[in-house]
Amino acid sequence: MIRSTRYGRQFNNGNLNIQIPKEDQAEFNKDQVLFLDDLLSDLDCEFIGETYCLNSFETGHTIFNSYMNCCYIFAWSNLDRLAAGKTIKLYAREVTEDDREIMERMY
């Protein structure tokens, strides 16, 4: 493990575990996306681009980790798991040329 915060653990291979402690569940449920964005910024991560379809039933968003220089695919259905106090695991993948283009357009 490289580093750990109150909400997440980052591993040598770039993978990320995220969990919302029970004492923070009420705050998380007020505005889940804003809370998640703040949580990710503590781990040097940010949402990039727009939401897109992952399959016929769910949508997701790409997260860029500037510390590890990798990306994750976050399924929005994971918000329900976080709200229930469960841990979600985000698997690191290499940054693609498309990801770099999206980031260039953002900044």
Q: What is the maximal distance between C-alpha atoms in the chain?
A: 40
Q: Quote the pLDDT of residue 1.
A: 64
Classified as helix, coil or strand, 72 is strand
**40-72 core/surface letters (b: 16 or more CB in 10 A; e: else):** beebebebbbeeeeeeeeeebbbbbbeebebbb
pLDDT digits (tens, 9 = 90+) for 8-57: 899 999 999 999 988 999 999 999 999 999 999 988 999 998 988 998 88
* CB of 40 closer than 8 Å to CB of 10: no
